[in-house]
Amino acid sequence: MGDPRRRDRAEPPAEAAPPQAARAVPEADLAGHRRRHRPAARPRQRRRAAVVRRRVRHLPLYRNATGDEIVYVESGTATVETVFGALEAKEGDYVVIPTSTTHRWIPTGDQPLRAYVIEAVGHIAPPKRYLSRFGQFLENAPYCERDLHGPGGVLLADGTDVEVLVKHRTSAGLVGSRVTYARHPFDVVGWDGCLYPFTFSVHDFEPITGRVHQPPPVHQVFEGHNFVVCNFVPRKVDYHPLSIPVPYYHSNVDSDEIMFYCGGDYEARKGSGIGQGSVSVHPGGHAHGPQPGAYERSIGAEFFDELAVMVDTFRPLELGEGGQACEDPGYAWTWAGRGPAS
């Protein structure tokens, strides 16, 4: 058994050995093909294939068999190689990877790759209220089909005895296995159907605004089993003459709230110690809201330049060792203006 967990931060190496050769096949060449492994005697049509060779770290192939994943790219760029083809991911992209998709991340460019990973138990989809009964996006949805970008073609890769890290379930819980395939999993000539990985840029999300403060569901972008994903993007704020643009104090009744601050200037949290890259956790039933002075500062504001990804979980969220190790013990006291009583 092995540990299939991946790094959320990967530095692009200065020099490393190239991975096994992968050939990008133009999508037009795939007409009529169904997803299947290439027979050993099948011609490889080298004339139509563009050879891709990049000197990058040989990252492991990985497959999460427990649920879909959303990876939000905070900074850097990467090529995500999958059995369906390659995706190009950049800053601000959500990368949605369906369950049991064999893939690997290859950092590109000069900037470190920093990513925020959300793992589902089950599948991830757009909110149902954004879709018609036929599955099409409605005109009042904050994004549409044109904003979702799938693979630009398939990859054909050669290799033998290729190892894939697999995260899966057993009666004892979640485990990891190292599975060795006789032939490379990317030895695929094509696929069809409606299930495939895709990217969606947070910058293509059209915010829903109003004369008075809008409730959090207007910021929703995805939903999964027992959780939702929202994003707070740069937007025009409440324009009623008596409006106060920052959120009101509230306590979540049915969910824990996790906020990842990934860009801009988060006006409501000034004085809290929150900065880019911070993650706040507010369990259900715990009142929270803007820091002291935020209400007064927001009066008359017309635009908020902020960027954050929020996950609301409808089951209690447990903190792991990493979360406990980086806790700021003074955060909860920033509303009171003092520390705990001795």
Specify the DSSP element, H or E, that contains 298.
helix 294-298
SS (H, E, C) 211-266: CCCCCHHHHEEEEECCEEEEEECCEECCCCCCCCCCCCCECCCCCEEEEEEEEECC
- Integer Cα distance of 297 and 72 in angstroms: 31
Tokens at 267, concatenated: 């006006």
The pLDDT of residue 280 is above 60: yes
Q: What is the pLDDT of residues 67-82, one digit of tens each?
A: 999 999 999 999 999 9
Specify the DSSP element, H or E, that contains 162.
strand 160-170
Question: Is the pLDDT higher at 37 or at 247?
Answer: 247
Residue with tokens 């403060």: 213
- The vertex-235 CA angle with 234 and 239, nearest 5°, equals 150
Residue 270 near residue 278 (C-beta atoms within 8 A): no
The pLDDT of residue 153 is above 50: yes
Q: In what order do the strands lie in the sheet with 155-157?
A: 50-52, 22-24, 155-157
Q: Do domains 9-39+49-201 and 207-319 have the same CATH topology?
A: yes
The SS3 of residue 208 is: coil
Question: Is the pLDDT higher at 34 or at 140?
Answer: 140
Residue 113's nearest CA partner among 266, 11, 2 is 11
Question: Is the pLDDT higher at 47 or at 170?
Answer: 170
Question: Is the pLDDT higher at 114 or at 5?
Answer: 114
Question: Looking at residue 12, what is its pLDDT?
Answer: 41
- Integer Cα distance of 248 and 298 in angstroms: 12
Question: Looking at residue 64, what is its pLDDT?
Answer: 97
Alpha carbon distance, N-terminus to C-terminus of the chain: 48
CATH of domain 207-319: 2.60.120.10
Average predicted confidence (pLDDT) for the chain: 82
- Integer Cα distance of 60 and 313 in angstroms: 30
SS (H, E, C) 11-77: CCCCCCCCCCCEEECCHHHHCCCCCCECCCCCCCCHHHCEEECCCCCCCCEEEECCECEEEEEEECE
Question: Looking at residue 53, what is its pLDDT?
Answer: 32
CATH of domain 9-39+49-201: 2.60.120.10
The pLDDT of residue 187 is above 50: yes
Domain ranges of the chain: 9-39+49-201, 207-319
The pLDDT of residue 32 is above 50: no
Q: What is the chain's alpha carbon radius of gyration, rounded to the nearest angstrom?
A: 22
The SS3 of residue 269 is: helix
Question: Looking at residue 58, what is its pLDDT?
Answer: 57
Question: Looking at residue 104, what is its pLDDT?
Answer: 95
Question: Looking at residue 319, what is its pLDDT?
Answer: 87
Percent of the chain exceeding pLDDT 70 equals: 82
The pLDDT of residue 19 is above 80: no
φ and ψ of 61, to 5 deg: -80, 145
At residue 57 the predicted structure's pLDDT band, cuts being 50, 70 and 90, is low
Residue 213 near residue 186 (C-beta atoms within 8 A): no
Q: What is the pLDDT of residues 229-260, one digit of tens each?
A: 999 999 999 999 998 888 888 888 899 999 99
The pLDDT of residue 88 is above 60: yes
Contacts of 196 (CB under 8 A, 6+ apart): 84, 98, 150, 151
Question: Looking at residue 145, what is its pLDDT?
Answer: 96
Question: Is the pLDDT higher at 190 or at 137?
Answer: 137
Q: What is the pLDDT of residues 90-131, one digit of tens each?
A: 999 999 999 999 999 999 989 999 999 999 999 999 999 999
The pLDDT of residue 17 is above 70: no
> What does the pLDDT average to over 180-206?
92
Burial 38-69 (b: 16+ CB within 10 A, else e): eeeeeeeeeeebeebeeebeebebbbbebbbb
Question: Looking at residue 120, what is its pLDDT?
Answer: 94
Question: Looking at residue 7, what is its pLDDT?
Answer: 37
- Integer Cα distance of 99 and 223 in angstroms: 15
Percent of the chain exceeding pLDDT 90 equals: 53
Residue with tokens 């937007």: 235
